Amino acid sequence: MIAPGPNRSTVERERTGRGGTGTSVSRIDVEHLDKRFDDKPVVKDISFSVPHGELCVLLGPSGCGKSTTLRLIAGLEDPSGGRILIGGQDVTWLPAKDRKIAMVFQSYALFPHLDVSDNILFGLQVRGVPKAEQQQRLQSVAGITGLKDYLARKPGQLSGGQRQRVALARAIVSEQPVCLMDEPLSNLDAKLRNEMRLEIRGLQQRLNMTMVYVTHDQIEAMTMADQVILMNNGVIEQAGAPADLYERPASLFAARFIGAPPMNLFHDRIPGQVLGVRAEHLVPAGPTGNGSDMVVASVEYLGADAMLSVRAVQGEQKDAVFVRVPGSRRAQAGERLALTWDPAHEHHFDAATGRRLEGSGARAEVLTQKH
Amino acid sequence: MTHQPAADSTAFAASAAGPARQSPWQRWSGSVEAWLLLLPSVVLLATFTHIPIVATLIDSFYSTPRPNRPSRFVGLRNYEDMVADPLFWKVMWNNAVYAVGTIPLSIALALAMALFVNDRIPGRGFLRMAYFTPTVLPMIAVANIWLFFYTPDYGLLDQVLRLFGVGATNWLGMQETALGAIITVAVWKEAGFFMIFYLAALQQIPPDLREAAAIEGASRWTFFRRVTWPLLAPVTLFVLVNAIINAFRTVDHILVMTHGGPDNATNVLLLMIYETGFKFWDQGAATALTIVLLAVLSGLALFQFVVASRRVHYQ
């Protein structure tokens, strides 16, 4: 839906021009940020940085503090402690309007009585941008977001996806170097969400925006982010590239939160440790009859592959173990099998703290010999 | 009974799509149902509103019946007498001043109070209640409270003013101050009532609109002018209709406080109708005055709904 035509030029030129003056221009640094509501801490001493032009996703379950963190960066909430820097400037106590940011709200926050063009131009009108420039920027942004035919409509006359585009257009037209997004796709249906994901990522890269994007949807996080910051209970569980979070989860929480299905965890195999193996790394083998055999409880056929839900025939393992097998392997419920895996794919976590343990591969290898 | 929903839907379809293939019986039975549903309201409106209006209009062309002289058709005589009466013009003027004095002031005050108690401030619940209290009081009670405020010398107002060296004033007894004093009471009584509507509407405005505007750099005033005020327009129209009707309808406090005096300085149209009709028993003059009142109100209502509602955004 992004029109790659000549219209995109003005916004893009200005944006890259601005970005070109220095790589730190819209870098975001969050330092030891704290936020309490009535003495109830919601954000606890978190620090992270977003380099200029990168898309950083704040990911986590609801109530983890990710939206509050975004609102602190936006200046919609005052922090209880810590600092926020945008482009090297301390903006911690600056009002929202002076932080050189644009924001897209989960509800879109469109003005219901204004038509699309007035909604998009609201900020420019408030800031007194000359009329001719307003029109030029409006045309350019309307072209980018595919809203050219809807400029005279009121938000109430638009579909959810179109409203989302208006909110996006309003953020883009301000030409601020930083764009904050608060669950922008959560009100759209699945198909539209997939489209908009690609579109927003494309826009962010083309316009060279520094973006902080809040979501609880790990697929959005994994597909869009340069950097994912996984939050839980007001603290950062793990920060890193999507592949880092998937391949080397730093905690049990990260291991369970990232990936569908969540990582399989075995609690009783190693004293003081939790062993984790992802579904696609478990390989079914013929039953051994030695007591550790498993039985297939259910089969979810997905086409390219199938997801087996497997339980122990007898004994301690209560939770189902998920095993991803090729779709061509016609698995049957009730089938007995043994599970094997390459020790290189094992993850070890401290049972007490939940943190990842490194360098315990050798011990694990011995244990897998039992299978 | 089971077929009825189907009959209903075809009736609706027919009315929406014009004449359809439908028997006259079907069309008739559909509309009978509709009429039956409307009947209670129609009966009530007709009995207490429409028929009296028509009767009043007819009566206004007849002379007042006297024991020895029955009422007879006099054409526009009642209206001619009315227009010739200087008291009529004084009362119209008073009513206009009363309307212009109460309506914008009470609406502005209502909006200001609503904006104030809509913010997160300490004691918000108490303030809301305090603002709303005058509405709960009967107008007669309000009038008596204010009678005390206005009492010369030892009334609240004069006691306060004495601190500033101002002498006793007979607020309700002087031509220059009486109408103003009456207007103040009406504003005090009405603003709290209108505030409730504004407050309800303000709470319908999502807070993220304000946040979005703040990020775009809009000041509080800009946000109010560009977003809050337009979004409140339906409420303003509603409140305006009510305020105008009230401006021509309330006489309670005037009756209690001044009885239209001194020298008709606080006499308004409805009070004049009441006195002409039920004190002087001059039916001809009273009906003519009533028709004027109805004409003024329907004219204003028409103006509001036709002209003003075009500029109002309904969600």
Q: What is the CATH number of the domain that holds A231?
A: 3.40.50.300
Same domain for A55 and A175:
yes
Provide the shortest C-alpha distance from residue A233 to chain B (in Å): 24
Same domain for A279 and A175:
no
CB contact under 8 A, B206 and A174: no
Q: Which residue of A has its CA nearest to B229?
A: A113
**The pLDDT value given to residue A241:** 94
Write down the CATH superfamily of domain B81-311: MetI-like (1.10.3720.10)
Residue A252 is assigned to a structural domain of this protein:
no
Residues from chain A that touch B215, judged by Cβ atoms under 8 A, are: 74-76, 96-97, 101-103, 123
Residue A254 is assigned to a structural domain of this protein:
no
Q: From the list A97, A107, A174, which residue is nearest B214 (CB)?
A: A97
Instruction: Show Cβ contacts of residue A251 under 8 Å, excluding neighbours closer than 6 positions.
Output: A237, A238, A349, A354, A355, A356
Domain end position, chosen among A247, A280, A305: A247
Q: Which residue of B has its CA nearest to A115?
A: B313
A184: preceding bond cis by omega (within 30 degrees) = no
Q: Is the pLDDT at B139 greater than 60, yes or no?
A: yes
Same domain for A223 and A87:
yes
* Average pLDDT over every residue of A236-252: 92
Residue A100 is assigned to a structural domain of this protein:
yes
Q: Which of A67, A76, A127 to mutate to test the interface with B (most CBs of B within 10 A)?
A: A76
pLDDT digits (tens, 9 = 90+) for A328-371: 888 888 888 888 899 899 999 999 998 998 754 444 443 443 33
Same domain for A45 and A100:
yes
Same domain for A278 and A184:
no
* Average pLDDT over every residue of B39-64: 89
| Confidence at B23, pLDDT banded by 50, 70, 90 | confident
**The pLDDT value given to residue B262:** 81
Same domain for A291 and A355:
yes
The answer to whether the CB of A281 falls within 8 A of the CB of A341 is yes
Provide the residue ranges of all domains of chain B, joining segments of one domain with +. Answer: 4-59, 81-311
Q: Dihedral angle at the C-alpha atoms of B25, B31, B37, B42, nearest 10 degrees?
A: -130
pLDDT digits (tens, 9 = 90+) for B145-184: 888 888 777 878 877 887 887 777 777 777 778 888 888 8
pLDDT digits (tens, 9 = 90+) for A23-69: 457 899 999 999 999 889 999 999 999 999 999 999 999 889 999 99
* Average pLDDT over every residue of A262-278: 89
pLDDT digits (tens, 9 = 90+) for A133-145: 999 999 999 988 8
Which 3 state secondary structure label does DSSP give B121?
coil
Q: Judge whether A67 is closer than 8 Å to chain B, CB to CB.
A: no
Tell me the ipTM for this assembly.
0.79
DSSP state of B243: H
Weakest-pLDDT range from A65-69, A124-128, A239-243, B6-10: B6-10
The CATH code of the domain that includes A348 is 2.40.50.140
Which 3 state secondary structure label does DSSP give B281?
coil
Domain range spanning residue A282?
A: 264-368
Q: Judge whether B176 is closer than 8 Å to chain A, CB to CB.
A: no
Q: Which of B211, B216, B232, B315 to mutate to test the interface with A (most CBs of A within 10 A)?
A: B216
The answer to whether the CB of B285 falls within 8 A of the CB of B276 is yes
Domain end position, chosen among A247, A277, A303: A247
CB contact under 8 A, B218 and A122: yes
Which 3 state secondary structure label does DSSP give A20?
coil
Provide the shortest C-alpha distance from residue A102 to chain B (in Å): 7
Instruction: Give me the number of domains chain A comprises.
Output: 2
Same domain for A237 and A89:
yes
Q: Judge whether B313 is closer than 8 Å to chain A, CB to CB.
A: yes
**The pLDDT value given to residue B72:** 81
Residues from chain B that touch A168, judged by Cβ atoms under 8 A, are: none
Q: Is the pLDDT at B2 greater than 50, yes or no?
A: no
pTM: 0.76
Same domain for A120 and A218:
yes
CB contact under 8 A, A126 and B213: yes
Provide the shortest C-alpha distance from residue B234 to chain A (in Å): 12
CB contact under 8 A, B313 and A113: yes
pLDDT digits (tens, 9 = 90+) for B271-302: 888 888 888 888 888 888 898 899 988 888 88
CB contact under 8 A, A123 and B208: no
Same domain for A269 and A212:
no
Q: End-to-end distance of chain A based on CA atoms, in angstroms?
A: 52
Q: Dihedral angle at the C-alpha atoms of A124, A127, A132, A135, nearest 10 degrees?
A: 10
Task: Tell me the C-alpha distance between A33 and A142, whole Å.
Answer: 37
